[in-house]
Structure 1
């Protein structure tokens, strides 16, 4: 979907007539709907639209006001993001206690590699506040003494900082549909396994118990289905025969940071989009500029035969030739 389209998101309690009321308002202002998707989860309704506002018969301010009034009337929240709103992108990083992924993001940001602003760090514990302070970035602790986050406060902070992208840098909590629906295809998580293998908690321990020889990590977009969102990047590593969980984790953590950073770069560069539940390069992207999986040098070590049908010997013998 082109970045020149305006994005409209509607969130609220499910009710009849929501879609018709919103689409009618747009039609009356000569706004063409290019794409529409809607879903309901746990009683929360979400509709996202990409619309062409280039020929609309009202100003941006008038459209915002009309949608705000309609949202108040329907009891839903309506978010509008015009193309110009997305020129300077802001990142909110959600963390718990592990620092390695946050450090990688900070280092890339400090080196000017992101092309976006890390505007806020949000934790469900305050362990990483000193790291945020070191880089001069605001830190907000939204967790209680057990680390359970206050999602209403979380949403307030995300809104206060006009967040474009949420990065879960080893944030050890599941986001509810109330959060995910508001930032669909704008939340990136890093998971310590080669998804879809070993979703959920303690993935490295799961890998050890199953005796895998190749471990890995996955950066993916977050959906309301745990660890099942569209995969963006993956990295793999060997697991020695006698490796314990701690050794597997030591091998995985640097790759977690690398895969997450590459996924963030792909998103910020608008190099990938989600199509039918999977990420694809956009047509104008040079794949050599990015690394989705293993490096190209790995291909040189892969055996290239035997492959079915190459020799033709079996088929000729079967025909009696």
Structure 2
């Protein structure tokens, strides 16, 4: 049902009257609000409305103009996406200096495997501009001499290219609510750990210092909580005894690209849904074309016994039975 609904995103400074004014405008034009979600972070207000516009008493252009005018009056940014708007698939890739994830995305795009238009690469350094140029993809440097990005410029570029999905291909900066709120469930990041373990910086070093035997990578939707967004795909790999951080990184980086590409394709295929901070495959999705976690052949190496046979435990003392029921 969500795919057939119009999405209205409101972002701006928190103040009274925003919800009432917008919902009143929609009601007066015959728009039925089906779902509404609100959040406030660092004084920034975000509201996402999903509405049925099939029986509205105005044109799409009229509704868009009315919401834009109301947003100007309220001092907030209102973005409107009708179901037909979401049929286009335009991607922006955000990068810093590491090339491996961008390289994988560019190659997939060049071979036609990536079913979308790769519109622009945005960097907070210009190190990867030559790589983007090899594939004739525009590159926009939004960073100052220290690599601090201009987020207003990022938003301007995303708007200019009418971006549907932003992909963080080892973009080593935290996005503020100003961007995240506007692109909720439309920003995908790859993190070099099996989240929720080792969030934040230097994840491979964290894995080494904690002495893990299995490390991994995670592609996830970005939220305002660092590295805590809904997980889409993961990959895992063994950590050899007494290995160093560089070896762990070399093992992980190809899997970063692999997990990120799969997460992007899942999003483009509209195969993944988000509910209460968790992802799931949409009903009717054929999962055989995806590798969400470990390869299927890993199952053949997993022991399948022994496991608790709870049917045989019914004669245990009542206290123990109660403990089992509460597991």
TM-score, structure 1 normalization? 0.96
Give a deviation string over 1:24-45, Cα, whole Å, max 9, x none.
1111111111211110101110
Structure 2: 5+ residue stretches without partners = 319-327
Residue in 1 aligned with 2:199? 199
Structure 2 residue matching 1:182: 3-state secondary structure: coil
Alignment root-mean-square deviation, CA: 1.4
2 CA distance for matches of 1:311 and 1:184?
45
Question: What does 1:205-220 correspond to in 2, within 5 Å?
Answer: 205-220=205-220
Structure 1: 5+ residue stretches without partners = none
1:54 is displaced (CA, Å) by 1.1
1:298 is displaced (CA, Å) by 0.8
Structure 2 residue matching 1:236: 3-state secondary structure: strand
2 CA distance for matches of 1:116 and 1:35?
28
Give structure 1 regions of 4+ aligned residues with deviation exceeding 3 angstroms.
314-319
1 CA distance for matches of 2:53 and 2:107?
38
Instruction: Verify: 1:63 aligned to 2:63, yes or no.
Output: yes
Residue in 1 aligned with 2:225? 225
Question: What does 1:281-292 correspond to in 2, within 5 Å?
Answer: 281-292=281-292
1 CA distance for matches of 2:139 and 2:240?
39
Structure 1 residue matching 2:30: 3-state secondary structure: coil
Structure 1 residue matching 2:19: 3-state secondary structure: helix
2 CA distance for matches of 1:113 and 1:310?
47
2 CA distance for matches of 1:134 and 1:118?
13
1:107 is displaced (CA, Å) by 1.0
Residue in 2 aligned with 1:278? 278
1:2 is displaced (CA, Å) by 2.4
1:269 is displaced (CA, Å) by 0.5
Residue in 1 aligned with 2:251? 251
Structure 2 residue matching 1:267: 3-state secondary structure: helix
Instruction: Verify: 1:146 aligned to 2:146, yes or no.
Output: yes
1 CA distance for matches of 2:55 and 2:272?
27
Residue in 1 aligned with 2:38? 38
Residue in 1 aligned with 2:157? 157
Question: What does 1:24-35 correspond to in 2, within 5 Å?
Answer: 24-35=24-35
Q: Which moved more, 1:205-214 or 1:85-94?
A: 85-94
Provide the aligned length of Structure 1 versus Structure 2: 318
1:310 is displaced (CA, Å) by 5.8
1 CA distance for matches of 2:315 and 2:223?
51
1:226 is displaced (CA, Å) by 0.3
1 CA distance for matches of 2:44 and 2:316?
63
